[in-house]
Each structure stands twice: as structure tokens, then as C-alpha cells.
Amino acid sequence: MKLFKPLLALFLSLLLLAGTAEAKKKKEPYKGYRFTLFIYGCQDSVMYLGNYYAGGTYAFDTARLSPKGMFVFEKKDRVLKPGLYFFCSPSGNYVEFAVYHEEKLEFHFDTEEPGWQSNMRVKGSKENELLFGYHQLNRKTYKAIDSAQLAMTDSVAFVNYKREKLLQMDSIRETLIAQNPNSLLALLMNATRDPQVPLFDADSNRLTERQRWEYFMEHYFDNSRLDDDALIRTPDMIFHKRLEAYLDQGLRNAPPETIIKYVDTLIDRSRPSKENFRYLVHTIAEKYLQSNVMSYDAVYVHLVHRYIEPGLCDWMSPSTVDENVKRANVWDNLLIGKVAPELILKDSAGVFHSMHNLPNKYTLLVFWSPTCGHCKTMIPELYEKYLLYRDRCDIGAFAILSEPDEHTRPKWYEFIRQHHLDWLNLDGGEANIDWHEVYDVVTTPQIYLLDREKKIIAKKLSASSFEQVIKAIENINE
């Protein structure tokens, strides 16, 4: 303990100073910055200044070594938004520092080679005194543990020593968070905490796995300052990776209504932070816009109607808003469970057919073209699966030529003959609606499965997934 007492006392005094500063009323961010960086023994002549943003790092300023041996970064007309920033050299060395709330951005950093972070001293920033003080104490703790592991021959004594040092760091972290809840370091440390999921409820009943999952999902971001713009400017494991894990693992295979419930809660909590709100709406909407899961377009449609269409996303241009709203309105009519829009088209003999009048228990709706490379492979495979279940499950087909022009029609007739496509083949050239727009047929093939009432059961199908779906709903176990 002797090694840590002076440093620990100094660090705790910094906690008290920072806590006093946080009691002051916060001001608007200062315009302009001036950072000076002196690195004793530095071999680099160029240094970069950058910041984190979600999953990336971005350099935005460059400084050259001055005759006085310093790097000076200065911009009088630029506002630096709160978050974690860094200096880095072309050789790969770097050191992080805080830009947060009311501090005037005139900082002087002083360190030496090697080990910029461990030797860093700062003037003009209580936030960074706190940040570097914590990092340095943390490094000393782990260095002492490593040294003890080499020196101690008694493994039990070493385990006890290590536990004591780690508990000491845990105590320091808790003290820091309690006394400086609004510091950037507290934000960083809190944001990576997972919720502690209880085994029992308030009445001492053991929680089910489902209940424990729900608790975890509902409290996953409890320790993250979603209302603070600084959160988006942190290393990716602080926010970006945690969001990915939440969506990709926590909500994996969840029904769309469950996903909507949790992402709405998440986005709404971020509303006080324009930047976190923007990032979440954009990231989540884009994820479900691009999803290949047949029902997940419902999440995208919901997000557009809830956040984009009402004008809450003021960073979007009017044309971008219109594009998203138009797409969402189209997709809204094509969601699982909706009645597929009526189609009336001519077959290859010129006879009109109504899709809604097909009497079958199921309808396989297909948009395809013989000039589409994917269709050339997919359609014969799909037709074989269709034949397997056509009579057994009472499936009708409504297969539409998606490129009804004079160049493609001869190829369509030839493809039908060559592959013996004995299902209802429709020419898309003359129809009751603009089905390209109504069904959002941008790429082919597009494959839907409808029930007797022409409600959409499944979409975005392949030959194999069509078979899987029909076997599942018909309880075919072969």
C-alpha cells in the first residue's frame, strides 16, 4: 500500500476539485481552441488532432513541430463538441484527452517518450487532470500486480494481493462516479456497465429466462448517457459496439413488434441529445431498411412514420425525407399480414387474370425476367419446389414478366418452353396498377407467398426458403 498512498491522496483531492467545478452552472461551448503539446524526446515532426465518432476515428487538424519543440493546434472559429479526442503521430503513437462542457479549450499537455499517456501532465483542464490521474493510477496498479506475480512464490498470497488491488481500483471508480457524476470519465466508465440481472422478483419468485432477458434488454443502456452528445464521440466499444450487440444479439430473431418496442425506448431516451438521436435514428433505420429478414421492413416503416415523416429529423433534406416517406408508404402495404394489392394482367395468350380471384389455398406471386442472371438460376429451382407442393398444399402461381418489352418477350417465351413452366405466366406490360411502384419491384426475382385471402404470409423468398415456409405452415415433417 505504501506505493499508492501519495498518488491515491492526490487523486482523491482531484476528485473533490472536479466535483466542486461540476456544481457550477454549465455554459455554452467555447468557440475556438488552442492546444499545445510538448513531448520530450519526440522523433515526429508532424502531429494530428482527431476525435472519435461512433465506429470511426477522424483527424481534422495538423500541426508541425515548432522551433520551441511544441505542437500547437489552434483554430479561433471552430467549436469542438464534447467527447474524447486524441493526438496521434504518423508513427502510430497516440494519447486521448477530454473536451467536455464548460472548460475553455486552452490546454497545455506535457509528456515524454515512451509512454505518452502514462507520463502526461496537463494545465488548464480539470477534466483532463481527472482523466490522466485515473489512467495513471490504473496503470500503476496493474504494473504492481505484474511485478508481484514475478516476485511472489506463494500463489495464494499473490491472488489475495491482486484481489486487494483490484478492489482498490473498484473503490476508486465508485468514488469517482459518485463525486463526479457529470464528468466525461464517469460517462465513459458507466457506459460499459451491463445491468445486474436479478434471479428473483420482489416477491422472491424465481424469474424465468424470458423475464431475465426482458430485464436485461430494458436496462441495458441504463448507465449510458443517451442524452449527452459526448457519448457519440467515444471509442466504439463505449457506444457503437454496444448498440450493435443490442440489435444483433439481444434482438436477434425477435419479432418486429418487440424490436419496435425496444428501439423506440432507446431513441426516445436520446431525444435531448440531437447528435445521439440522429445517430440512432439513422443507424437503426438503415439497418432494417437493408435487412433480409422478411418481416423486419416493418421496423423501418415504423421508424419513418414515427420520426422522419413528422419532421423530427431536421438534418435530412426535404428530398431525403420524401424519399423515405414514399418508400415507407409503399412498404406499409406489403407488410406481413397485409392483403397483397390486386393484380390483373394478361397471360401469354392475351387472357386477363385476377390474382385475387385465384381459388387456391396459397398463391405464389413471382416477379422475374429471363434477362436477370439470378432469375435464370432461381426460377427453375423455385418451379421444381412449386411442383412438389402444388397439389398437396393447393398452391396457385401468379408469375409476372418484370421486363415486358419487345426485346425481352421472345426470351420469356423461350425460357417458359425450355423449362416447362406450366404455371400461370403473366405479361407485365398491361395491368390494373403500376405494379413496379406498388410492389417496389427494383430487383428480381421478388417472391411472395399469399394465403387464401391473399394476405402476405412470406416474402423475400428463395426456392429453399419457400419450401421451408410451406412445410412449416402445413406441418410437413418429411
Inside any domain, residue 173: no
Pair 12, 111 in one domain: yes
Overall average pLDDT of the 409-418 stretch: 96
pLDDT tens-digit series, residues 177-188: 898 888 999 999
Pair 400, 464 in one domain: yes
d(CA 46, CA 66): 10
The grid coordinates of residue 323 equal: 424519399
Pair 33, 159 in one domain: yes
Pair 141, 284 in one domain: no
pLDDT band with cut points at 50, 70 and 90 for residue 372: very high
Pair 47, 148 in one domain: yes
Inside any domain, residue 432: yes
Residue 134 in contact with residue 161, Cβ under 8 Å? no
Can you give the pLDDT at residue 73?
A: 97
Inside any domain, residue 383: yes
pLDDT band with cut points at 50, 70 and 90 for residue 154: confident
Pair 369, 258 in one domain: no
Can you give the pLDDT at residue 27?
A: 53
pLDDT at 478 over 60: yes
pLDDT at 11 over 60: no
Pair 30, 94 in one domain: yes
| 42-69 CB burial, b ≥16 within 10 A, e <16 | bebeebbbbbbbbeeeeeebebebeeee
- Which one-letter amino acid corresponds to residue 127? E
For 146, phi then psi, to 5°, come to -60, -45
CA end-to-end span of the chain, whole Å?
Answer: 70
Report the SS3 class of residue 206: strand
Q: Which residues contact 300 (CB under 8 A, 6 or more apart)?
A: 285, 288, 289, 291, 328, 331
Can you give the pLDDT at residue 4?
A: 45
Other CB atoms within a 10 A radius of the CB of residue 97 amount to 23
pLDDT band with cut points at 50, 70 and 90 for residue 43: confident
Pair 389, 356 in one domain: yes
Can you give the pLDDT at residue 21?
A: 46
Can you give the pLDDT at residue 8?
A: 52
pLDDT at 45 over 80: yes
Helix 209-219, helix 256-269: angle, nearest 10: 30
Overall average pLDDT of the 102-126 stretch: 89
Inside any domain, residue 135: yes
Inside any domain, residue 184: no
d(CA 436, CA 374): 18
Q: Which of 136-140, 203-207, 366-370 has the lowest mean pLDDT?
A: 136-140
Helix 409-419, helix 373-393: angle, nearest 10: 50
d(CA 425, CA 231): 55
Distances (CA, A) of 173 to 134, 154, 257: 9, 29, 38
Percent of the chain with pLDDT over 90: 77
Domain that holds residue 54: 5-168
pLDDT tens-digit series, residues 57-109: 999 999 999 988 899 999 999 999 999 999 999 988 889 999 998 789 999 99
pLDDT tens-digit series, residues 273-312: 999 999 999 999 999 999 999 999 999 999 999 999 999 9
Overall average pLDDT of the 255-266 stretch: 97
Inside any domain, residue 191: no
Pair 351, 304 in one domain: no
pLDDT tens-digit series, residues 186-210: 999 999 999 999 999 999 999 999 9
**Could you check whether the bond before residue 114 is cis, i.e. omega within 30 degrees of 0?**
yes
d(CA 379, CA 402): 13
pLDDT band with cut points at 50, 70 and 90 for residue 19: low
pLDDT at 49 over 90: yes
Pair 140, 38 in one domain: yes
Among 332, 362, 381, where does a domain finish? 332
Can you give the pLDDT at residue 184?
A: 95
d(CA 246, CA 286): 15
d(CA 130, CA 108): 15
Average pLDDT, the chain: 91
Can you give the pLDDT at residue 165?
A: 87
Among 332, 366, 389, where does a domain finish? 332
- Which one-letter amino acid corresponds to residue 391? D
The grid coordinates of residue 240 equal: 457503437
Among 104, 138, 168, where does a domain finish? 168
Residue that wins the pLDDT comparison between 291 and 19: 291
| Residue owning grid cell 403473366 | 426
Pair 78, 151 in one domain: yes
Radius of gyration of the chain (CA): 31
